[in-house]
Amino acid sequence: MDRRHLLSIKDLDKEDITLILDTAEGFRDVLKRDIKKVPALRGKTVVNLFFEPSTRTRTSFEVAAKRLSTDVINFSVPTSSVVKGESLIDTAKTIQSLGADFVVVRHSSSGASHLLSRQMDASIINAGDGINEHPTQALLDAFTIREKKGILKGLKVAIVGDILHSRVAKSNIPCLRKLGAEVRLIGPPTLIPDGFREEGIEVFHSMEEGIEDVDVIMMLRIQLERQDRGFFPTVDEYFRLWGLTTERLSLAKEDAIVMHPGPMNRGVEIDSAVADSPSSVILEQVTNGIAVRMAVLYLLGGRG
């Protein structure tokens, strides 16, 4: 793949995405072996630079990097000098000087990884920037759907919840559409920006109407800390109107799959009965995340 960074799904075309997913398939097989490690990137250094707390994404990248035989360094906020008021660029340059080949960045500001990509020689991988994008999550979601459904083209995929603040949705929407899926958004009018309709995406405010006949239901985490900002009245009402229950799930296609990027709020956006049902592929998403991130590191590292 002829690029150095993975900042946004918008920078990728269908062929790039397919190449990543195909490559991830190979790594997925590696992960099923007894010895789960390959020497592909031996001698390279991956730095996980996380300015926001994250367990699953950081761990997933760490495992992926280790399976490729790289050295992994974790830089996280409470232990780094960021709390002392060091600027993002100074932190980045310090890490650069430590000899990082890849920097995996999570930051609360949209565009933070774009800024770093202009300031550093290392490959930057966006692991979530503000309310903008989380490209590897979208790639692993596409991988999981492809694994379950064979092909994405023509599939009806409903993304449900807080679209406005969800970087997962912001990456999934272009990714799924590039692969030919038909994306629809479901949620309260306060949490779905009008701009999506203008792009020709169907928007539903009724869960029942939106979920009808879909192949994939992608639930988003409701960030409880945003609750006080008044996007919806109460969590109880949210669950009543947009929570994914067994009854609502029955409106979708019979073989519909349920996805969630985690961590779940059981009883807020998703009922436990659904989360733990055979339709749920939530734990497979986690495993696939490692394979997809291995593919991304491998392809970015393979340039030149």
Partner 1 sequence: MKILIKNGHIVDPSQEIDAPGDIVIENGKIKEIILETSPGRVPAPGLDIQSFTVIDASGFHVFPGLVDMHVHLREPGFEYKETIKTGTRAAVHGGFTSVCCMPNTNPVNDNETVTEFILRKAYADGACYVFPIGAITKGQKGEELAEMGMMAEAGCVAFSDDGRPVMSSLVMRRALEYSRRFDLPIISHAEDEDLSSGGVMNEGRVSLQLGLRGIPSEAEVVMIKRDIELAKLTGGRLHIAHVSTAGGVRAVREAKKEGLPVTAETCPHYFTLTEDAVKGYRTEAKVNPPLRTTGDIEAIREGLVDGTIDVIATDHAPHHRDEKLCEFDRAAFGISGLETALPLSLSLVREGVLTLSDIARKMSLNPSTILGLGKGSLKTGSDADITILDLKKGWKVEPERFLSKGKNTPFEGFVLEGLPVITICKGQVYEREDR
Please, what is the end-to-end C-alpha distance for the chain in angstroms?
A: 10
Supply angle C-alpha 184, 189, 193, rounded to 5: 70
Annotation marks residue 58 as catalytic: no
Q: Which of 57, 70, 136, 144 is catalytic?
A: 57
Closest approach of Cβ 170 to partner 1, in Å? 6
In the complex with partner 1, which residue's Cβ is closer, 39 or 195? 195
The one catalytic residue in 106, 107, 165, 177 is 106
Q: Which of 33, 79, 84, 118 is catalytic?
A: 84
Min dist CB 120 to partner 1, Å, is: 14
- Between 88 and 203, CB nearer to partner 1: 88
Residue with Cβ nearer partner 1 (17 or 92) = 92
Whether the Cβ atoms of residue 61 and residue 290 lie closer than 8 Å to each other: no
Residues 77 and 51: beta-carbon distance below 8 Å: yes
Rounded-to-integer distance, Cα 55 and Cα 141, Å:
18
d(CA 302, CA 27): 15
Contact between 212 and 250 (Cβ < 8 Å): no
Give min distance, CB of 175 to partner 1, in A. Answer: 14
HSE of 212 in the Cβ direction (CA atoms, 13 Å)?
A: 8
Q: Which is nearer to partner 1, 53 or 193 (CB)?
A: 193
Q: Active-site residue among 5, 58, 67, 134?
A: 134
Is 57 marked active-site?
yes
Q: How far is the CB of 83 from partner 1 (least distance, A)?
A: 15
117 touches 137 (CB < 8 A): no
Q: Where are the alpha helices (DSSP H) in the chain?
A: 14-32, 56-67, 88-97, 112-119, 135-149, 167-178, 195-198, 207-211, 235-242, 246-249, 272-275, 282-301
Q: Where along the sequence are the contacts to partner 1 (CB under 8 A)?
A: 10, 87-89, 107-112, 114-115, 129-133, 167, 170, 193, 195-196, 198
Spell out the alpha helix ranges (H) of 150-281. Answer: 167-178, 195-198, 207-211, 235-242, 246-249, 272-275
For the question of residue 205 being annotated catalytic, the response is no
106 is catalytic: yes
| Least Å from the CB of residue 111 to partner 1 | 3
State which residue, 105 or 274, has the beta carbon closest to partner 1. 105
134 is catalytic: yes
C-beta of 132 vs 280, nearer to partner 1 = 132
For the bound state, the minimum distance from the C-beta of residue 194 to partner 1, rounded and expressed in Å, comes to: 9
Catalytic residues: 56-57, 84, 106, 134
